[in-house]
Structure 1
Amino acid sequence: MTAPATSAIVLDFETTGLSPNQGDRAIEIGAVKLENGQVVDRFQSLMNPGFRVSSFIEGYTGITNNMLSHAPSCDEVMSEFVDFIGDANLVAHNASFDKRFLDAELDLIGKGYGGEFACSLLVSRRLNQEANSHKLGDLVAYHNIANDGVFHRALADAEVTASLWLLLVNSLTENHAIAQPSFELMQKLAKQPKASVGKFLTKHK
């Protein structure tokens, strides 16, 4: 049976930099578990990468070296997180970034996961082509999504990404008469050329 798009785990990493291939590590994970469009669980933890983070990252995230010095190790947190996600499908905003860090951190502890990834940013680019920006903060303002004004902290970003994801899924039902969009449909939509989106959605009614 195809998984519904409204059941997934929406996650966000804060990191020491842009690339695990350059030695960057995760310093915070936040995630919300959606079941049939409802948030049923949450996961959040700082994690100590084993080295000091730059003053830029401290300023950007608000996560200080002092905070991280008291945090559990990446290995410890990721061992717990992989149990949290199980075989659920995964959603992130700019998912290629979060997938890189999830894969890298789990490789270090010899763990994996069974779900697939979808990207709310790519789906938004297809469904909201008139929006000037698809950065998370700009889309929160564009859609008037409720938020606490905190960005670049993992759980806060995961919360608003979950709201955005459900809004995107629901728009397929309300605006395109697609009953119960599947996770696979959202993945395929994210890869459509923008000019072909209307035809693609009509085909899947």
Structure 2
Amino acid sequence: MSSAIAVIDFETTGMTPTQGARATEVAIVLLEQGRVVDRFQSLMQTGAWVSPFITQLTGITNEMLRTAPPAADVMREAAPHAFVCTVLLSRRIYPQAPSHSLGNLARYLHLPPTGRAHRALADAEMAAALLGRMQQDLCTRHALPWPEHALLMQLQRCSKARTSSWLAQQAAQASLTAG
């Protein structure tokens, strides 16, 4: 039985919480067997000020956030399912990629655009497309059955140096169970 995997993206007022950055938007895309089965998106009020640079980058304004629901309410409603980190996975699956940022990976893998970059739903949908592509590539390149959440979690924790041997071991185990 397949389980859903949540792909989550946040838009923020800056790069790090230690420097005062706060979330302004969250989006979640639920995948089952590589297909989108549900979506959630919301702006959220954290009381943080949005700089003109961030507004230009994301399109999110201070005015938009004044009427947004409180972040705690949004996160309670979102209550994410099991999730994986596409950055960690991409470093294991595509070590040759010139960059592991979402936009650069999407271009590297020729994934179709999903909307305005730096908006949570478009980025979450792009990350979901990337995750589906990674699952597909794990099947075709490494002879694995469809990689569910547990396997993806193990893979993202695997060291880069051990990834190839770990994938070969997983393929051998899958072959034994299938045969």
Shorter-chain TM band: 0.7 to 0.9
Say whether 1:177 aligns with 2:174: no
Compute the TM-score of the two structures, normalised by the length of structure 2. Answer: 0.86
Give 1:122-133 correspondences, 5 Å limit: 122-133=88-99
**Number of the residue aligned with 2:82:** 89
Deviation of residue 187 (structure 1)?
1.8
Q: Quick one: structure 1 residues 148 and 38, their matched pair in 2 at CA, closer, same or farther if it must change by over 3 Å?
A: closer
Q: Does structure 1 residue 150 correspond to structure 2 residue 102? A: no
| 2:86 aligned to which of 106, 109, 120 | 120
Aligned to 2:74: 77
Letter in 2 for 1:184: A
Q: Measure, in 2, the Cα distance between the counterparts of 1:52 and 1:133.
A: 30
Q: Which structure 1 segments of 5+ residues have no match? A: 91-117
Whole-angstrom distance in 2 between the partners of 1:53 and 1:152 = 14
Q: What amino acid maps onto 1:199 in structure 2?
A: S
SS at match of 1:33: strand
Instruction: Give 1:166 deviation, angstroms.
Output: 1.0
Secondary structure at 1:152 match in 2? coil
Of 8-17 and 64-73, more deviation after overlay is shown by 64-73
Q: Which residue of 2 aligns with 1:187?
A: 153
Change (3 A) 1:149 1:156: closer
Correspondence 1:1-205 to 2 at 5 A: 7-82=4-79, 85=80, 88-90=81-83, 118-205=84-171
Distance in 1 between the 2:77 and 2:153 partners? 27
Letter in 1 for 2:109: H
Instruction: Report the alpha carbon displacement of residue 193 of structure 1 after superposing the two structures with TM.
Output: 2.8
TM-score (norm 1): 0.76
How far off its partner does 1:148 sit? 3.7
Distance in 2, matches of 1:194 and 1:29, equals 30
| Identity across the alignment (%) | 44
CA deviation after TM superposition for structure 1 residue 55, in Å:
2.0
